[in-house]
Structure 1
Amino acid sequence: MNKIAKFVLIFSIIYIFVIVCLSGLGIIENKLYPRYEGSMPVLARFSYGFANPNALAAFLFQIACCLVYLKWNHWNIMENFLILLLFWVIYSFLNCRTVSILIMLLLILVNLCKYKLKDKSIIFLKYFSLFSLIFCPFFSFLTVILYGKANSSAALISDLLSHRIRNLFFSLNYYDISIFGNIYHRHKDFLIVDNAYGNIFIHFGVLVFILYMVLYLIAINYTIKFKNVPFLILLTVYLYYGIMEGYIINPYSNFTIFIFSIMFYNRNLLTSDKTECM
């Protein structure tokens, strides 16, 4: 796993550097994405050559995840500083609230497990990860149902999540629920589904959604069995990422997909790096 994490870390850094440089030279367009409050633009956000600011934030978040895994046994003040630096870049330059929150969640879990819980961390993460696996998709769809019933709390949550609940509500009503999914076109604003669980459900169908959740459960159970604390933290945080973005189902922005795909063929992968918290 260390080799995979190192490769992803190096690739992500080089890729970001190249794209941002090409954007600065004007070869790739630096798109403007204003943040709106109601109908009024209140903040200018730039893509720096990526499809949108959130796409760049996804790669920066992946760098943070790689650092957590690779530096777990030697985690100290410098590693905390690097994660906080990534948080500052994501929040100040990209104004990506989703990844900013997730970076802080990642940092809290790392320090909680590393210094406070220590050898009890795997017990805490066992229950927290299994709870998160149920909570994240349940919260997504329950909020959509409540939004459809004109629930004020659901409407407020949708506003806080940049209308993601509203978009998912309209999309679920626009497309028929299918076992094998739908031909999915991102051609209208309200059909842009930035919720991974809704995206899988609509695009790939009920069968793939169930399969994805079962495989994620198996991955969590394997990780618990081998007491690989840093990887369990990453699996858990990416579940919350799925509430607000669809990037967790893209292998290029979620290297844990590579790892738990390989893991089904090599169950000893999780123990090969000796990163477990003892």
Structure 2
Amino acid sequence: MIYNAKFSRLEKSRGKGVYTLADIYIFLACIWFFITALVNGTRISDLGNFAIILYHIQHVVWIVVRGFIIVKVIKELQYKDWRIALLVILGFFSILYSDGNWIVTILWFICGAKRVDLEKLIRRLFISQLLAYLIIVALAGLDMITNTSTTRIDGKVRYSFGFYHPNTLAARTFQLMSMYVCIKSKRLNFLDAFIFAIVTFLNYRVTDSMTASFLMLSLVVLSVLVSYASKENRNNYLRQCVRFCLDKLKYTVIIIPFLATFAILNISSFTNNLSDTFASRGTQALLYFQHYGISLFGAKLEINSGVEGWSLVSDLYTLDNSFIYLLLGYGIIFFILFILGEFFLFRRVVKEKNFALLTVLSLYSVYGITESSIIQLPLNFTLLYLAYVLWDDDFQKQKSKVRYGRNVL
């Protein structure tokens, strides 16, 4: 656990109705994530006036969250803490030059996560996200909101069950599975893997999302390896081999972004060897690259992310690559900071032998090649772990032993 002495004393006095700033942060974060999961990327607008109320609630909750984080940061801020000042300046330029919504949201939450038990936060977020997920699917099943369907060229029909696009349903499902892996960590077993396999099969049949299904299948296999690598009483040689392989996953966060960028710039050289889906995504990314170019703080991209999308710029439709989106939309500064932040997070996770989180982080890096969701906090909870990088010295001083992935929900 990551507590300071004062934090621990307040924890013990909860029976007297005393709650810490970290407790309030977790509560407000869960509320915001829950509301956002209901209204963002879903067909909740079909509910008419009730949906409008939800949108207003989301707006109010976001104001409250930001206000609380300001108070929390001021209360915990140390003298001449340059990190907050730097992030405030970068956030300002992000809003000024680009559509900085998601980057600024990430900055808000990691700034406020100082002295917060992230393990506990993820456990609570899993519950809130699962509840929102089930509500949307249930509303679609009751025909209260639209079960959007799309048809591929080969005639295969894809369903979204209340979400705006089948890929969104797949992304939400993958996130829930990933959260569960991080929560269970060393207690993952073959029953978990079996359930994951069933969910993966159903996801593929319903959404026909190739990328998400591949990642889910990878999560099934790797979760078994994670469980094996975590057991100290297994065959030492085999366990060391598994740990060696998992350890090398940390390089994906460095290699994948640059490989993806190189591939986009040279897409015409090997388009014939790619599937139509990957080729079209690569071509679109190249068109965006040619139109906007690279800048320090990015540009406001004309883009859509839904079924009935449009763009004011000729030939530009959508940008399904998180790394190119980050580079063009938020600039080279944020691109480099993101890569460095993820690398230091990977390095810390490897040092702590948290193979569950290492696996999930690696799979999200792969996900970024074909989707723009990994830079959106509601669709990538692992971004919250960047708080470990920002506040590393503070966490190190206030812990006697770091333990990722507690074994209870």
Q: TM-score of the superposition, structure 2-length normalised? A: 0.61
Q: Which moved more, 1:117-126 or 1:83-92?
A: 117-126
CA distance in 2, matches of 1:109, 1:243: 20
Runs of 4 or more, structure 1, over 6 Å off, are: none
Residue equivalent to 2:265? 145
Superposition pairs for residues 116-265 of structure 1, below 5 Å? 117-130=238-251, 132-147=252-267, 150-151=268-269, 153-157=270-274, 159-161=276-278, 163-186=280-303, 187-188=310-311, 190-262=316-388, 264-265=390-391
SS where residue 342 of structure 2 aligns?
Answer: helix
Q: CA RMSD in A?
A: 2.3
From 184, 189, 196, the counterpart of 1:83: 196
Deviation at 1:155, TM superposition (A): 4.1
Q: TM-score of the superposition, structure 1-length normalised? A: 0.87
Q: Check the 8 A contact 2:341/2:389 in 1, yes or no.
A: no
CA distance in 2, matches of 1:159, 1:66: 32
Bigger RCO (CA 8 Å, 6+ sep): 2
Give the aligned residue type for 2:200. F
Residue equivalent to 2:151? 34
Give the aligned residue type for 1:14. L
SS where residue 51 of structure 1 aligns?
Answer: coil
From 168, 171, 188, the counterpart of 1:55: 168
Deviation at 1:45, TM superposition (A): 1.2
SS where residue 45 of structure 1 aligns?
Answer: strand
Instruction: Among all aligned residue pairs of Structure 1 and Structure 2, give the percentage whose two residues are the same amino acid.
Output: 25
CA distance in 1, matches of 2:405, 2:327: 36
Number of residues of Structure 1 aligned to a counterpart in Structure 2: 268
CA distance in 1, matches of 2:284, 2:261: 12
Q: 1:118 to 1:67 in 2, by over 3 A?
A: farther
Q: Check the 8 A contact 1:158/1:166 in 2, yes or no.
A: no
Residue equivalent to 2:178? 65
SS where residue 33 of structure 1 aligns?
Answer: strand
Q: Check the 8 A contact 1:229/1:275 in 2, yes or no.
A: no
CA distance in 1, matches of 2:133, 2:210: 20
Gaps of 5+ in 1: none
The structure number with the bigger radius of gyration is: 2
Deviation at 1:229, TM superposition (A): 1.3
Q: Check the 8 A contact 1:23/1:48 in 2, yes or no.
A: yes
Gaps of 5+ in 2: 1-117, 230-237, 304-309
CA distance in 1, matches of 2:259, 2:297: 23
Give the aligned residue type for 2:244. I
Q: Check the 8 A contact 2:193/2:223 in 1, yes or no.
A: no
Give the aligned residue type for 1:43. K
Residue equivalent to 1:18? 135
Give the aligned residue type for 2:342. Y
Q: 1:171 to 1:164 in 2, by over 3 A?
A: same
Deviation at 1:260, TM superposition (A): 2.5
Q: 1:44 to 1:242 in 2, by over 3 A?
A: same
Deviation at 1:109, TM superposition (A): 2.1
Report Cα offsets for 1:218-237 as digits up to 9, x if no partner: 11111112221111111111
Q: Check the 8 A contact 2:203/2:213 in 1, yes or no.
A: yes
Deviation at 1:140, TM superposition (A): 1.4
CA distance in 2, matches of 1:192, 1:211: 24
CA distance in 2, matches of 1:139, 1:77: 34
